[in-house]
Structure 1
Amino acid sequence: MNKLTASRLGSVALCAVLLSGCTTSTPNDSEVTSELVIDGPGRHNATGDVAAIASIQYDSPPDHILDAQRCSGVVVAPKWVLTAANCLRLGPETPIGEADGKAPERCPGPPQDPGSSVSWQFKIRLGATRTGTPIRVTATVAHPDFDFGAHAPAKPMSDIALLKLAEPANVKPIPIADHDLPPGTPTSQLGWGHQPVCTSRIPNELQQLDSVALPSSRCGRATQFEFCTATIRTASGVQGQCVGDSGAPILAQSPGGPVVAGVASRGGRHCGDSPGIYTSAAGFRQWINSVINSSGS
């Protein structure tokens, strides 16, 4: 990496996230403000335990659509998946008819009217591929303040949502982080994004993109309860949050294992041309818990 050394990032990984009494210092703004782009391997097939990571798909019988890839998400309670609210209100994130992963013949069009999703029947498939056993979604709960930026930055965008499952997922949920990530914290995004957008296939394997959290001063378009990560410079070009990544969990390590730091909300006009912006899971922890607890499951 550039100015942030691997040894420093290793220390941050152990001490920055949720660890009381840790004396290792974390990078301050002056050390990370120039790190909008860092060197790294870029997207690769996800490693480790990804059983709780969800491919969010939908069927739309009136439109003769089956198994369309929509977004990504993560199991945070036995019957609940955390994702982005924009996954419920906009048009298909990947072109209709591309669920089989073939190279798209066209790019996604502009966002559709929220009414376009009224006939969608959501489901999830868990793990490293998009072809696992489906679990039906029985309810979708978007944050009541979500407006996808209509009033930003006057109030938080609140791009966060929960999906209730018809049956408990047979996986270990990943807990929500207690606090926002300090700048410089190593992160891993797990989702179904792909780039170049108009010439690449939807991946058959879950994709991982490793980065670091940036200070809020470097997240120009972020609102309250959001954070951003650096884009990645690879041998083939710059990579970052991309089409297919909406709702993707971004994980960080805590003493007890991985925690959900946030979910992917939006990137730049082109993949990797600006830091990816994420909704902070810790910032909405109280709302998440209230929805799950009020359901009795």
Structure 2
Amino acid sequence: MRPLFVRALTGTLALAATGGVAPLADPVPAAADSVVVGGFPVRVSDTPWVVALASRDRFGGTRAGQFCGGVVIAPTKVMTAAHCLSRTVLGGEVSQVRDLRVIAGRTELTASDGREIAVSGSWVSPAYNPRTNSSDLALLTLADALPESQVIPVAPEGDQAYVPGTAATVFGWGDTEGNGSYATALRAAEVTILADRNCQTAYPGGLSGRYDASTMLCAGDPRGGHDACQGDSGGPLVAHGKLIGLVSWGSGCGKADSPGVYTRVSAVRLP
């Protein structure tokens, strides 16, 4: 699968969203990293484990440099999508992005509350395949610890939260309409966990991408209209109060026949 379908901002997309003049040489379809299509506003005080990944040097200051989402799984550990740390997104190695920050405790990106914490290290799943987005998971180590109250538990393999038909919620600061309308305040959308057979039908391979049930799960709205989108990559999918997925990829935003695909966090071995 081509990286067209991932849901993270690239430097080119970020410039376009903030009025920059860089040409969109290889445009990414809206549906990769949005601000949750069909969603509703939420406060970080109610979901303190949702964080934003930011680099003003790379993505500009209009939205505090936000380009992906993340989720706090330990006081010094933030989980995100592996493709968010790729050279395609960052323009170089993670270590070269000197102003890479995790923004915690901030609902509105243009505000100054919360904390902007430096990243002291990163890890990308060695099983990650950028061509297929399999095992699309990475960890960032924070230079300063967050309180335990900002940590969300990760659902283990076999947890009821993964059962098809379960109601779940996805969070992000991405595209809210699928047309480049990027949010500055955190939003969420309610979706339903879908059976693997439905996801395999939606993504059998080829240009649409291939769904791999061993490391992915998908969720959406059978009627369409609720989904993650461009700019939401790495953000959390939560069910039963536990983290079950990370926004990874999809085809379009909010399409009934093209649900969002998420990294199945229980399937990726952590260091």
TM-score by length of 2: 0.70
Rounded to whole Å, the distance in 2 between the matches of 1:75 and 1:45 is 20
Note the C-alpha offset of 1:116: 7.0
Question: Which residue of structure 1 aligns with residue 82 of structure 2?
Answer: 85
Q: How many residues align?
A: 211
The counterpart of 1:75, out of the listed 72, 77, 85, is 72
1:199-234 superposed Cα distances (whole Å, 9 cap, x missing partner) = 41x212211011110000111232122100023647
Q: Which amino acid aligns with 1:115?
A: G
Where in structure 2 are the equivalents of 1:258-269 lying within 5 Å?
A: 258-268=241-251
Question: Which residue of structure 1 aligns with residue 211 of structure 2?
Answer: 222
1:131-186 superposed Cα distances (whole Å, 9 cap, x missing partner) = 4320111111111121223xx4xxx7110000100010134310110135010011
Return closer, same or farther for 1:232/1:194 CA change in 2, 3 Å cut-off. farther
Question: Which residue of structure 1 aligns with residue 38 of structure 2?
Answer: 42
Note the C-alpha offset of 1:245: 0.9
Question: Which residue of structure 1 aligns with residue 119 of structure 2?
Answer: 137
The counterpart of 1:159, out of the listed 128, 136, 146, is 136
Note the C-alpha offset of 1:65: 4.5
Rounded to whole Å, the distance in 1 between the matches of 2:100 and 2:125 is 18
Match of 1:86, SS?
helix
Question: Which residue of structure 1 aligns with residue 7 of structure 2?
Answer: none
Where in structure 2 are the equivalents of 1:197-276 lying within 5 Å?
A: 197-200=178-181, 202-220=182-200, 221-223=210-212, 224-231=214-221, 233=223, 238-253=225-240, 258-268=241-251, 270-273=252-255, 274-276=258-260
Q: Which amino acid aligns with 2:78?
A: V
Rounded to whole Å, the distance in 1 between the matches of 2:184 and 2:217 is 28
Q: Which amino acid aligns with 2:250?
A: G
Identity over aligned pairs, percent: 29
Contact 2:191 2:226 in 1 (8 A): no
Contact 2:81 2:247 in 1 (8 A): yes
Q: Which amino acid aligns with 2:144?
A: E
Q: Which amino acid aligns with 2:187?
A: Q
Match of 2:96, SS?
coil
Contact 2:53 2:100 in 1 (8 A): yes
Question: Which residue of structure 1 aligns with residue 12 of structure 2?
Answer: none
Contact 1:242 1:271 in 2 (8 A): yes
Q: Which amino acid aligns with 1:276?
A: G
TM-score by length of 1: 0.65
Rounded to whole Å, the distance in 2 between the matches of 1:80 and 1:161 is 10
Rounded to whole Å, the distance in 2 between the matches of 1:216 and 1:206 is 29
CA RMSD in angstroms comes to 2.4
Note the C-alpha offset of 1:86: 0.5
Return closer, same or farther for 1:53/1:184 CA change in 2, 3 Å cut-off. same
Return closer, same or farther for 1:136/1:232 CA change in 2, 3 Å cut-off. farther
Between Structure 1 and Structure 2, the one with more strand by share is 1
Structure 2's unaligned 5+ residue stretches are 1-36, 201-209
Rounded to whole Å, the distance in 1 between the matches of 2:176 and 2:59 is 27
Contact 1:232 1:240 in 2 (8 A): no
Question: Which residue of structure 2 aligns with residue 9 of structure 1?
Answer: none
Deviates more, 1:242-251 or 1:46-55: 46-55
The structure showing larger relative contact order (alpha-carbon pairs under 8 Å, at least 6 residues apart) is: 2
Structure 1's unaligned 5+ residue stretches are 1-40, 93-111, 292-297
Match of 2:267, SS?
helix
Match of 1:137, SS?
strand
